[in-house]
Amino acid sequence: MNPINIIGIGQGKDDLTLRHLDLIKACDVLVGGRRHLDLFDYPDKKKIFITARIDSLGKAIKEKTDSNKIVVLASGDPLFYGVGSTLIQHFKKDQLHIHSNISSVSAAFAAIKEPWHDAKIISLHGRQQKTFAFACLANESKIVFLTDLKMDPQYIAAGLIKEGLQNFKFCVLENLGNKKEKITWFKTLDQVGEQAFSQPNIVILQARLKENSRFSRETHIGMDESEFKHSKGLITKSEIRCIALSKLKLIHNNHVVWDIGSGSGSIGIEASFQVPQGRVYAIEKHPGRIPDILQNIKSFNCQNVHVLNTDFPKGIEELNTPDRIFIGGGGKHLEQIIKASCERLAPLGIIVINTVLLQSLETALRLLKEYQFDPRIVQIQVSRSISKGLPFGDRLEALNPVWIISGSKF
């Protein structure tokens, strides 16, 4: 069986090497988009057009592989959001020869003479869900979007305006690599909506200021309690917070997280840093604590944190299905809270429960086992150094020991 050569054509025919051109000339079957195939006038070759139904491409190529030399033409680089990524799912890797080339992103940054090793790359092209959570970009300084007909420059500009993220320079690069290439910088996002753009195009955003942080101060996991507005004692201590968040295993940036018994909102807010494209619900039953949560959300501009003032599980029907649940309160209703949480948690989801009470430890352990979780228990004892009022040195002052119970839903 002949190997399938997947050749990236960069930004156009001029980016192909002599070896690439020889492989194309010698092939029996040429595969590509209409724009790619129009670059080569070989009437004797069989042609397979790549359409929007790209999943059927593997089957069409397999029908031609027995005795034919096949070349697949790909935009830019085949494995950068390209057809190569699809074909390696349909063929054994030793059947494929991948020929890399200049990607659209590298070409775009070369065109504006800017490095791109620190850029966040987002493909909006061909997304099944025609939505994007622009709030997750608030802490970025350099972003490039691969667009399509619907999720185009106007869509991006409108999304940024809606989220109040107008501190970016906005560049649209149209028809890169051909005679119609056009690069336009916009002073305001409103100007973008007044223009029409040809396809294909790429959008690059650059922060106007060197630091485009959405936060008024440095942020990280385990921030000191003084960074949060809170009532005395009603906040998860920073050391405990770090461990609790690690147990939540927020491995995907679009997780849905419930923070039950939110208090000051510190757990939910720090979780939101790790799930910028997800959603965090800060659930608190005491009305007097809601202003603290709202103030902390405002201070850190956490646009994906939503506050629910309710005695959980009341209001549970308003919440998206959670991937992760943190329970930091509950009191006499803890059993009811854990049961409702276990029933709503998504498959393979994780629950983490913090408590200082032995009775709550027993309740959490018993219920997680009843719901077929595999609970793990950690007891944390933290001591902090203090020197106030001591003439000759520091001493350690112990904080209340905390039990952290965690488990995964099978």
pLDDT in tens, 150-203: 999 999 999 999 878 888 999 999 999 888 999 999 989 999 998 999 999 999
Q: Is 69 helix (H, G, I), strand (E, B) or coil?
A: coil
pLDDT at position 129 is: 60
CATH number of 225-408: 3.40.50.150
pTM over cut 0.85: no
Return the bridge partners of 32, or none: 49
pLDDT at position 63 is: 86
> What's the longest Cα–Cα distance across the chain?
94
Domains 105-207 and 225-408 in one fold: no
pLDDT at position 213 is: 47
CATH number of 105-207: 3.30.950.10
Q: Residue 313: is the preceding peptide bond cis (ω within 30°)?
A: yes
The DSSP secondary structure of 167-219, one letter per residue, reads: -EEEEEEESTTSTT-EEEEESSHHHHTT---PSSEEEEEEESSS---SSSS--
**Residue 10 DSSP symbol:** B
pLDDT at position 212 is: 44
pLDDT averages per 10-residue partition of the chain, 410 residues: 92 93 95 91 90 78 88 94 90 94 96 94 78 77 93 94 87 92 94 93 85 56 92 89 97 94 95 89 94 90 88 91 92 93 96 96 96 96 84 86 94
Cα–Cα distance, 76 to 65 (Å, whole number): 24
CATH number of 4-102: 3.40.1010.10
CA distances, 51 to each of 54, 55, 218, 327 (Å): 6, 9, 47, 48
| Apex 131 CA angle, 219 and 148, nearest 5 | 110
Tokens representing residue 270 in the block: 């720090």
Contact criterion met (CB below 8 Å) for 285 and 309: yes
Tokens representing residue 246 in the block: 């690690």
pLDDT at position 210 is: 45
CA distances, 403 to each of 59, 240, 331, 354 (Å): 55, 10, 15, 6
pLDDT at position 310 is: 93
The domain ranges of the chain are 4-102, 105-207, 225-408
**Which residue, among 39, 38, 86, has the nearest Cα to 61 in the 3D structure?**
86
